[in-house]
Amino acid sequence: MTAPITVDESTFESEVLNAEKPVLVDFWAPWCGPCRLVSPVVEAIGQSHPGKLATAKVNTDENQQLAMRYSIFSIPTL
């Protein structure tokens, strides 16, 4: 079982864009109720595809520039 990795502005390129396998990225925030509902689903997707798919989480409150770069205007966004 692999938990989603936490990525930020400094690690997004290496962990997501340059990853060897596809990465499902969950843009979320701690105050977001729907984000709390989506989180276990993202974890389950990663666990059901070990070695084929990675999952990552980006806290949009802490990484606003990264969210803006990818036009994340509402959360959760996958």
The C-alpha atoms of residue 65 and residue 44 are separated, in whole angstroms, by 28
Model pTM?
Answer: 0.92
Of 7, 23, 25, 35, catalytic: 35
Query: What's the alpha-carbon Rg for the chain, to the nearest Å?
Result: 12
pLDDT tens digit sequence for 34-56: 999 999 999 999 999 988 999 99
> What pLDDT does 67 receive?
98
> Which of 32, 38, 45, 53 is flagged as catalytic?
32
Active site residue 20: no
Active-site residue, 62 included: no
Cis geometry, peptide bond prior to residue 76 (ω within 30 degrees of 0): yes
Domains in the chain, CATH or no CATH each: 5-69 (3.40.30.10)
